Amino acid sequence: MPRRPRIIIPDVPLHIIQRGNNRQPCFYSDEDYSLYLEWLQEYSLDSGCSIHAYVLMTNHVHLLLTPADATSAGLLMKRLGQRYVQYINRTYQRSGTLWEGRFRSCIVQREDYLLTCQRYIEMNPVRAGIVEHTGEYRWSSYAFHGQGKKSSLLTHHPVYLSIDRNKAKRQEAYRNLFAHELESEVIDQIRHATNGNFALGTARFTDEIAATLGRRVTPGKAGRPQKIATEEKNE
């Protein structure tokens, strides 16, 4: 079966997930996480991607970014992935692939879904049972949005900034969004869109994107392949 072409539109937010091959770890030490973020910053600047949110889990990565053009995200992930794999293989005396094929992605409607997707990303460690609260996990963007931690990697999306003009009130309002987990239906919608390389948004948004591209941008009615359904668990 041919691969579905990715939907990447300049200046439209993109949610990306990249997994370790066969669910194996891709981070082994604090230095690994730190270097990945350092190179993410370097290559995001070179490729023209604004990084809004991330979480680095033991065996997969989530990113929320806005690409400057249609090739920006692919260039970022290719260069970052290659350098990181070379580092891991050299450091841990291993060989072969680290990542499980291509990264998966979905474009995200700004107005109705961007903050929801951002919460989904930053709450990943809670859903996985690693921590009880998002703020306890080091390797995510939550501290930047909810606690005012400075970051040279991250850029606040205008939708986040529109929460409140006052910085302290904006951070408080953002923290309040994490008082409850996302509804299971919303989580499933994000997972299905990302794993299927579809569009995430309202019916009006997806209809507009489909009309623009001339192809379907939402899942069909048939049952999903078992492999994809399994991959989505706890992500």
Residue 92 has pLDDT above 50, yes or no: yes
5 part of a folded domain: no
User: Which pLDDT band, with edges at 50, 70 and 90, does 23 fall under?
Assistant: confident
Predicted pLDDT at 64? 98
Residue 4 has pLDDT above 90, yes or no: no
Predicted pLDDT at 96? 86
233 part of a folded domain: no
Residue 223 has pLDDT above 60, yes or no: no
Question: Could you tell me where the DSSP H helices lie in 92-181?
Answer: 110-122, 124-127, 142-146, 158-161, 167-176
Q: Could you give the percent of the chain with pLDDT greater than 70?
A: 92
Residue 1 has pLDDT above 80, yes or no: no
Residue 135 has pLDDT above 80, yes or no: yes
**Cβ distance 150 to 108 under 8 Å?**
no
2 part of a folded domain: no
Predicted pLDDT at 219? 82
Q: Please, which residues have CB within 8 angstroms of residue 106's CB and are 6 or more apart in sequence?
A: 7, 14, 15, 190, 193, 194, 196, 197, 198, 199, 200
pLDDT tens per residue, range 152-211 = 999 999 999 999 999 999 999 999 999 999 999 999 999 999 999 999 999 999 999 999
pTM: 0.92
218 part of a folded domain: yes
Could you tell me the residue range of the domain that residue 219 belongs to? 14-226
232 part of a folded domain: no
34 part of a folded domain: yes
CATH number of the domain that 42 lies in? 3.30.70.1290
User: Which pLDDT band, with edges at 50, 70 and 90, does 226 fall under?
Assistant: very low
pLDDT tens per residue, range 37-88 = 999 999 999 999 999 999 999 999 999 999 999 999 999 999 999 999 999 9
* Residue 170 CB-half CA count within 13 A: 17
Q: Residues in the chain, how many?
A: 235
Beta pairing, strands 60-67 & 14-19: antiparallel
| Number of domains observed in the structure of the chain | 1
53 part of a folded domain: yes
* Helix and strand totals (H; E) in the chain: 10, 5
7 part of a folded domain: no
The average pLDDT across 114-143 equals 97
